[in-house]
Amino acid sequence: MVAAGKGILAADESTGTITKRFGALRIESTADARRDYRELLFRTKDAMEQYISGVILYDETIRQTAKDGTPLVKLIEAAGAIPGIKVDAGAKPLANFLGETITEGLDGLRERLSDYHGLGARFAKWRAVIQIGGGVPTDFAVEANARALARYAGLCQEAGIVPIVEPEVLMDGAHDLARCYDVTEFVLKTVFMELYKARVFLEGMILKPNMIVPGKACAAKASPEEVAQATIRVLRNCAPAAVPGVAFLSGGQSDVEATANLDAISRLGGPWALTFSYGRALQDAAQKAWAGQPENMRAAQAAFAHRARMNSLAAQGRWSEGEERTAA
Among the listed residues 166, 185, 194, 324, the single catalytic one is: 166
Distance in Å from the first CA to the final CA of the chain? 27
The beta strands (E) that lie in the chain are given as 7-10, 52-57, 82-86, 91-93, 101-103, 123-130, 162-169, 206-207, 245-248, 273-278
Nearest CA-CA partner of 163 in 126, 130, 116? 126
Q: Is 166 a catalytic residue?
A: yes
Distance CA 139, CA 147 (A): 12
Among the listed residues 6, 100, 208, 324, the single catalytic one is: 208
Distance CA 267, CA 261 (A): 10
Angle at 131 between CA 125 and CA 314, to 5 degrees: 55
Q: Is 208 a catalytic residue?
A: yes
Distance CA 268, CA 231 (A): 10
Distance CA 260, CA 245 (A): 19
Burial of residue 13, with CB atoms counted within 10 A of its CB: 0-12 exposed, 13-18 middle, 19 or more buried: buried
**Which active-site residues does the annotation give?**
166, 208
